[in-house]
């Protein structure tokens, strides 16, 4: 007698799923496109003109002239007029500029780091090359799949090689850094997963609601005994489900093609993923609560998602932005979500590290959801 | 014996920013009656029925449905009312059957009733078609089907045949006539087609600019007034509601 298929939540969930899978655009933009993007960007990383590359130099005090021991890298930097710079937090760095009128200058910032510190910076995308001295020659460590790092290697080795430093036969001075978690693709995939959740909530929830309002479908539905909360629940549930599939497939392809693995806690990743969905669903409901014009919806979605897509470090580290802007950028939900996924997937983090982001994302999401519901126009 | 009227509207007003859309309307509709609200575009028909449907709230006046008000009894009223809005687009990529099942679930109604409704509105063979691929007439029949899913005691249809060709219009009329024979439904429909009011309804309310001009049965309305139409035309055709409307306002019902 009590047939589950007669239940309104069941009917609304299946209706939303059907609507989703019957729209070829959704499958392309939601699933195929992020995968293509990760493949494309992971393999070929395009280069900007003026470049600033951070290079870690392993070992203490290799950047400053020492009375007793001669450091090869120090000599090279000094002869190439790379001045010493002290950062605000007291670190010693040297800035080397290789001028090039045609292709744009390349600036290299050398800094003293331990091997461990260097690995953390690499994983965070703040660094793409590590230089080391072994047996009186320089040794370069970098991800051979990262064209950015390759180019840096070529520039540096050419400059240093022309100045009479002994170079080993080609290739001998390269130490490939293929440790999982240090490559661009490892940086990119978590960012794409976070961005996927954001875009999917924006279009799947915000746009969907506004469109239904503009077509007077919301008005028609609330003129029945339908429970309003069920309507929103079904929409959000189906999106979260879809986001799981999206993220899962993207991760699967990345692990098959690039061998990405999850270094940290999988339960923490799961909870963080839910928190990210709560956060963006909250934003989505708030954005959709009042307007019946799809053009306005379009504008709202772009106004919210574009800045985050650019600033939150989906494609490249936000540490490239001015230092003063970074604390603000780190408060964006997309930044928190992407950084959290990244720290679990590539740095091996668990609940201790992502507990705070999980709380902030869920609570702010819930608050925005409630505010949206309060202002929600059904007619 | 006093029975509770299906719908009782008392001195209802409704204004939008610059428009006084409904200005003091009274209606008394007996159970089981078919009532047409006839008036040209902008007369206030939609505003009036949407207030009766509990979708819009009147600025002043009272509305009672089977003796109950929207404020106090919304949950009960939603269950016994069926309606179709002037324009609703359903979900494009759902089939007709899925759309019916979805709306049926809001009333906790199962597949059997959906099957019945599909038969009543003559869309059996279209059950697997996506809503987006239906013709205008088929879409209106779907909207009608959805409005009668819960066997409503009161059915409100806002311009159910506007924009349809004469054939599609007659199909809808046939469904409504059958409904009248089979069920004890009170119907209010709005229209600016006088034929629709003449064909289907026991009681016709002519409204214009937010007020009721005349109301009564077709015979009462046409018998009541001296209608001044040239004898040559009067010989060739019967007097119509449009003639009455023109006599009252100097305009035609279907004028833009
Ligand atoms: N939401 C609204 N905002 C402003 N004006 C409205 C609104 N709804 C209706 N109106 C105005 O109220 C008048 C009556 O409209 P309506 O009830 O839709 O008439 P009808 O259904 O008879 O064509 C019209 O002048 C219309 O422009
Ligand atoms: Mg209207």
What digits encode the pLDDT tens for the residues A254-298? 899 888 899 999 999 999 999 999 999 999 999 999 999 999 999
**A124 or A371, higher pLDDT:** A371
How much of chain A exceeds pLDDT 90, in percent?
A: 45
Contacts of A14 in chain B (CB under 8 A): 98
**Going by C-beta distance under 8 Å and a sequence separation of 6 or more, which residues neighbour residue A364?**
A279, A282, A333
Pocket test for ligand 1, best of B17, B25, B44, B193 (most atoms within 8 A of CB): B44
Whether the pLDDT of residue A314 is over 60: the answer is yes
pLDDT of A167 reads 44
Report the percentage of chain B scoring pLDDT > 90: 79
**Three-class DSSP category at B212:** strand
- CA B158 to ligand 1: nearest atom: 21
pLDDT in tens, B141-177: 999 999 999 999 999 999 999 989 999 999 999 999 9
pLDDT tens, B216-240? 998 888 876 666 666 666 666 778 8
Residue A47 pLDDT: 40
Share of chain A above pLDDT 70, in %: 89
Q: pLDDT tier at B246 (50, 70, 90 boundaries)? A: confident
On the question of pLDDT at A61 being above 80, the answer is no
A221 contacts in chain B (CB < 8 Å): 106
Average pLDDT of A351-370?
Answer: 96
Q: Flag whether pLDDT at A170 surpasses 80.
A: no
Contact A217/B93, CB-based, under 8 Å?
no
pLDDT at A165 over 60: no
Q: How confident is the model at residue A337 (pLDDT cuts 50, 70, 90)?
A: very high
Burial label for A163, CB within 10 Å (0-12, 13-18, 19+), is exposed
**Which is more confident, A130 or A63?**
A130
The alpha carbon of B49 and the centre of ligand 2 are apart by a number of angstroms equal to: 9
Which position has the higher pLDDT, A43 or B218?
Answer: B218
Mean pLDDT of the region A57-85: 77
Q: Looking at mean pLDDT, say which of A87-91, A115-119, B195-199 comes out highest.
A: B195-199
Lowest mean pLDDT among A21-30, A169-178, A238-247: A169-178
Mean pLDDT score, A132-145: 80
Could you tell me if the CB of B93 is within 6 A of ligand 1? no
Q: Report pLDDT for A168.
A: 45
Q: Please work out whether the CB of residue B87 comes within 6 Å of at least one atom of ligand 1.
A: no
**pLDDT tier, A306 (very low <50, low <70, confident <90, very high otherwise):** very high
Give the angle subtended at the CA of B49 by the CAs of B46 and B55, to the nearest 5°.
95
Residue B69 pLDDT grade (very low, low, confident, very high; cuts 50, 70, 90) = very high
- Can you give the residue ranges of every domain in chain A? 50-176, 184-375
Instruction: Verify whether ligand 1 is closer than 6 Å to residue B16 (CB atom).
Output: yes
Give the containing element (helix H, strand E) for A230.
helix A228-258
Say if CB A184 and CB A41 are below 8 A apart. Answer: yes
Q: Is the CB of B41 under 6 A from ligand 1?
A: yes
Least confident of A94-98, A239-243, A355-359, B194-198: A94-98
Considering chain B, what is the average pLDDT of its residues? Answer: 91
Q: Which of these, A259, A276, A268, A243, lies nearest to A348 by C-alpha position?
A: A268
| B102 CB within 8 Å of a chain A CB | yes
Whether A169 shows a pLDDT value over 70: the answer reads no
Beta strand A137-142 with A129-134: parallel, antiparallel or unpaired? antiparallel
Question: What are A103's two structure tokens?
Answer: 């292709």
* Two structure tokens written together for A54: 């951070």
> For residue A73, what pLDDT is reported?
81
Which CATH fold would you assign to the domain A50-176? D-Maltodextrin-Binding Protein; domain 2 (3.40.190)
Closest CA to B207 of B249, B178, B146: B249
CA distance B82 to A360: 45
| A152 vs A168: which has the higher pLDDT | A152
Identify the band that residue A46 occupies on the pLDDT scale cut at 50, 70 and 90: very low
Closest approach of B217 to chain A, Cα-based (Å): 30
Query: Which residue is it, tokens 């009541």?
Result: B224
Residue A279, pLDDT score: 97
pLDDT at A86: 81
Find the mean pLDDT for residues B200-211.
94
If one counts every other C-beta atom within 10 angstroms of the C-beta of residue B211, the result is 15
A197 pLDDT exceeds 60? yes
């Amino acid at each position: 007698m009590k047939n589950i298929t007669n239940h309104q939540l069941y009917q609304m969930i299946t209706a939303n799923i059907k609507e989703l899978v019957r729209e070829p655009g959704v499958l392309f933009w939601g699933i195929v496109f992020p995968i293509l993007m990760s493949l494309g960007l992971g393999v070929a990383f395009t280069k900007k003109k003026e470049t600033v590359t951070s290079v870690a130099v392993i070992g203490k005090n290799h950047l400053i002239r020492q009375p007793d021991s001669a450091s090869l890298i120090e000599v090279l930097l000094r002869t190439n007029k790379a001045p010493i710079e002290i950062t605000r937090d007291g670190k010693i760095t040297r800035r080397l500029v290789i001028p090039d009128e045609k292709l744009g200058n390349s600036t290299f910032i050398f800094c003293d780091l331990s091997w461990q510190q260097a690995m953390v910076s690499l994983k965070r995308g703040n660094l793409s090359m590590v230089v080391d001295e072994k047996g009186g020659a320089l040794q370069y460590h970098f991800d051979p799949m990262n064209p950015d790092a390759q180019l840096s290697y070529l520039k540096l080795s050419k400059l240093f090689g022309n100045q009479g430093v002994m170079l080993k036969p080609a290739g001998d001075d390269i130490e490939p850094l293929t440790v999982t978690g240090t490559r661009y693709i490892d940086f990119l995939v978590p960012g794409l997963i976070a961005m996927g959740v954001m875009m999917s909530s924006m279009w799947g929830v915000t746009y969907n609601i506004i469109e239904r309002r503009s077509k007077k479908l919301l008005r028609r539905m609330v003129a029945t005994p339908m429970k309003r909360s069920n309507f929103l629940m079904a929409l959000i549930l189906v999106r979260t489900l879809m986001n799981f599939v999206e993220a899962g497939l993207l991760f699967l392809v990345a692990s098959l093609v690039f061998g990405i693995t999850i270094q940290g806690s999988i339960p923490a990743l799961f909870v963080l993923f839910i928190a990210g969905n709560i956060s963006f669903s909250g934003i989505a409901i708030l954005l959709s609560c009042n307007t019946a014009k799809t053009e306005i919806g379009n504008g709202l979605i772009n106004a919210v998602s574009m800045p985050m897509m650019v600033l939150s470090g989906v494609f490249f580290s936000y540490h490239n932005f001015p230092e003063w802007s970074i604390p603000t950028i780190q408060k964006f939900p997309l930044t928190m979500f992407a950084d959290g996924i990244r720290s679990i997937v590539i740095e091996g983090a668990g609940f201790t590290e992502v507990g705070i982001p999980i709380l902030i994302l869920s609570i702010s999401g819930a608050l925005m959801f409630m505010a949206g519901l309060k202002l929600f126009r059904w007619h | 014996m006093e029975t509770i009227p299906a719908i009782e509207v008392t001195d209802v007003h409704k204004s939008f920013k610059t428009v006084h859309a409904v200005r003091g309307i009274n209606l008394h509709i007996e159970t089981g009656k078919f009532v047409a609200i006839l008036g040209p575009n902008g007369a206030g028909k939609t505003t009036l029925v949407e207030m009766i449907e509990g979708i819009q709230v009147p600025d002043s006046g009272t509305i009672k449905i089977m003796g109950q008000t929207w404020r106090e009894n919304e949950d009960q009223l939603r269950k016994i009312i069926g309606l179709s809005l002037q324009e609703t687009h359903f979900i494009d990529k759902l089939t007709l059957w899925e759309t019916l099942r979805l709306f049926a679930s809001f009333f906790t109604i199962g597949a059997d009733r959906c099957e019945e409704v599909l038969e009543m509105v003559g869309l059996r063979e279209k059950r697997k078609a996506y809503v987006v691929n239906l013709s205008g007439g088929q879409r209106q029949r779907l909207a009608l089907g959805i409005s009668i899913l819960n066997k409503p005691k009161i059915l409100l249809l806002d311009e159910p045949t506007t924009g349809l060709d004469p054939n599609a219009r007659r199909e809808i009329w046939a469904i409504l006539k059958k409904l009248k024979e089979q069920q004890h439904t009170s119907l209010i429909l709005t229209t600016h087609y006088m034929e629709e009011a003449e064909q289907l309804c026991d009681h016709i309310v002519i409204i214009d600019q937010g007020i009721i001009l005349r109301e009564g049965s077709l015979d009462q309305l046409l018998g009541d007034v001296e209608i001044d139409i040239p004898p040559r035309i009067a010989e060739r055709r019967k007097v119509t509601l449009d003639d009455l409307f023109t006599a009252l306002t100097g305009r035609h019902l279907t004028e833009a």
